[in-house]
């Protein structure tokens, strides 16, 4: 009687009038786990001679890796790159979650269209908020009002980061971590306590931005976290009237930095109004099939290939 409901997930032992059921809930989100347990309990209780039913849930631990997306300074579009990378990886079939670790400037709830939705708690863990793009999200921006200043000292910020990382991520096997800019307490805590598998460094083309990006690269090197590669954001602007490409922030800085540091240049994301408007509207370009999606989809393919090589 349980087979059509549990689909091979249930192991049953009957002792007189009591049924004990072990239910494998691996890969199911929290709501689905409870719903399945309720259905199984009801089905077992309807069997003649069964007076009591006990259901215990179990699951196989998911092997999970995180990718830090970082920058040496703010304002380079790191959060936009993080959101679109996560969406593009999910579109490729990877079970991807997103952590907004930019404690003092959380913007992922806006970028993924879930502003105003707070995460629930389950067994003392935060349950990520589902999004329309198949990427669950946890962000400090979900816990405080958008206009509220986060005047937190280091210990408070690092404790908040720990709650996000240790959330109930279900079957997600890849977490994209939108790091705060710079090289302070939150960054050090992330690298020491929640070591990422690798890091992606985002910068704009101008030389000044790359000076700060090099500091971020050095921090990861000191902590022995591999650099997956560099992303040059806001690289090249196509005039909507004539199509001519101009470079308001400079040209060639990323390629030169990548060559000098012997690090792959993963992507050049254009300075495009379509990326800006879609991001403000909570509709990441990577979720579509327009021209703005191409660079993010290619970036995701390279990151996935890197993860596969690392096993």
**Same domain, yes or no: 175 and 83:** yes
The predicted pLDDT at position 99 comes to: 96
The whole domain housing 82 covers 65-310
**Same domain, yes or no: 16 and 146:** no
Residue range 103-133, pLDDT digits in tens: 888 899 999 999 989 999 988 899 999 999 9
Task: Decide which of 11, 28, 58 is a domain's last residue.
Answer: 58
> What whole-number distance in Å separates Cα of residue 79 and Cα of residue 293?
16
Please calculate the CA angle 176-173-83 and round it to the nearest 5 degrees: 25
**Same domain, yes or no: 162 and 122:** yes
**Same domain, yes or no: 18 and 71:** no
Please calculate the CA angle 210-215-220 and round it to the nearest 5 degrees: 120
Helices (H) and strands (E) in the chain — how many of each?
Answer: 10, 14
> Which CATH number belongs to the domain containing residue 133 in this structure?
3.40.50.300
Is the entire prediction scored with pTM above 0.85?
A: no
Question: pLDDT under 50 in the chain at which residues?
Answer: none
The set of residues, in sequence order, having a beta carbon less than 8 Å from that of 25 and lying 6+ positions away, is 9, 32, 33, 36, 37, 57, 58, 59
Backbone angles phi, psi at 13, to 5 degrees: -130, 130
**Same domain, yes or no: 103 and 118:** yes
> What whole-number distance in Å separates Cα of residue 156 and Cα of residue 130?
26
H-helix segments, the chain: 3-6, 30-45, 78-91, 108-111, 154-165, 185-193, 207-222, 253-261, 273-280, 293-310
Of the candidates 224, 255, 239, 274, the residue with the CA atom closest to the CA atom of residue 296: 274
The predicted pLDDT at position 182 comes to: 78
Task: Decide which of 58, 85, 105 is a domain's last residue.
Answer: 58
**Same domain, yes or no: 155 and 293:** yes
The predicted pLDDT at position 27 comes to: 67
**Same domain, yes or no: 84 and 49:** no
**Same domain, yes or no: 114 and 182:** yes
Compute how many other C-beta atoms are within 10 angstroms of the C-beta atom of residue 223: 15
The predicted pLDDT at position 61 comes to: 64
The predicted pLDDT at position 60 comes to: 66
Q: What is the dihedral of CA 11, 12, 13, 14, to 10 degrees?
A: 180
- Placement of tokens 């921006």 in the chain: 141
The predicted pLDDT at position 35 comes to: 84
Label the pairing between strands 198-203 and 120-122.
unpaired
Task: Decide which of 58, 76, 102 is a domain's last residue.
Answer: 58
Residue range 64-73, pLDDT digits in tens: 999 999 988 7
128 alpha-carbon distance from chain centroid: 10
| Residues in the annotated binding site for ATP | 72-79
- Distances in Å between the alpha carbon of 223 and those of 154, 187, 218? 19, 11, 9
> Which CATH number belongs to the domain containing residue 26 in this structure?
3.30.300.130
> What whole-number distance in Å separates Cα of residue 24 and Cα of residue 33?
9
The predicted pLDDT at position 310 comes to: 86
What is the count of structural domains for the chain? 2
**Same domain, yes or no: 23 and 92:** no
**Same domain, yes or no: 27 and 136:** no
**Same domain, yes or no: 151 and 197:** yes
> What whole-number distance in Å separates Cα of residue 265 and Cα of residue 253?
11
**Same domain, yes or no: 51 and 85:** no
- Placement of tokens 């793009």 in the chain: 133
The predicted pLDDT at position 278 comes to: 93
Element (H, E) at 306: helix 293-310
| Residues in the annotated binding site | 72-79
């Amino acid at each position: 009687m349980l087979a059509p409901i549990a689909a091979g997930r249930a192991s049953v032992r009957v002792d007189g009038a009591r049924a004990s059921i072990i239910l494998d809930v691996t890969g199911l989100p929290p709501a689905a786990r409870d719903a399945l347990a309720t259905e199984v309990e009801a089905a077992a209780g309807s069997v003649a001679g069964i007076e009591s039913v006990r259901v215990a849930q179990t699951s196989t631990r998911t092997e999970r890796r995180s990718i830090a997306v970082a920058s040496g300074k703010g304002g380079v579009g790191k959060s936009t790159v993080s959101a679109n990378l996560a969406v593009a990886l999910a579109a490729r079939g990877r079970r991807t979650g997103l952590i907004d670790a930019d404690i003092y400037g959380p913007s992922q709830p806006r970028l993924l269209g879930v502003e105003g939705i707070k995460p629930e708690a389950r067994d003392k863990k935060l349950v990520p908020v589902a999004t329309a793009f198949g990427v669950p999200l946890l962000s400090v921006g979900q816990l405080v009002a958008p206009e509220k200043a986060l005047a937190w000292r280091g210990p408070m910020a690092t404790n908040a980061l720990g709650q996000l990382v240790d959330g109930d991520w279900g079957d997600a096997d890849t977490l994209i971590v939108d790091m705060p800019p710079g090289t302070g307490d939150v960054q050090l805590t992330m690298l020491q306590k929640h070591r990422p598998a690798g890091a992606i460094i985002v910068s704009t083309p101008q030389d000044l931005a790359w000076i700060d990006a090099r500091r971020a690269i050095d921090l990861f090197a000191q902590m022995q976290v591999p650099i997956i590669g560099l992303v040059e954001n806001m690289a090249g602007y196509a005039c909507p009237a004539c199509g001519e490409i101009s470079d308001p922030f400079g040209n060639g800085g990323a390629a030169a930095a990548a060559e000098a540091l012997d690090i792959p240049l993963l992507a050049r994301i254009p300075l495009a109004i379509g990326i800006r408007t879609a991001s403000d509207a909570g509709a990441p370009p990577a979720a579509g099939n327009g021209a703005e999606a191409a660079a993010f989809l290619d970036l995701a393919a390279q990151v996935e290939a890197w993860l596969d090589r690392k096993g």
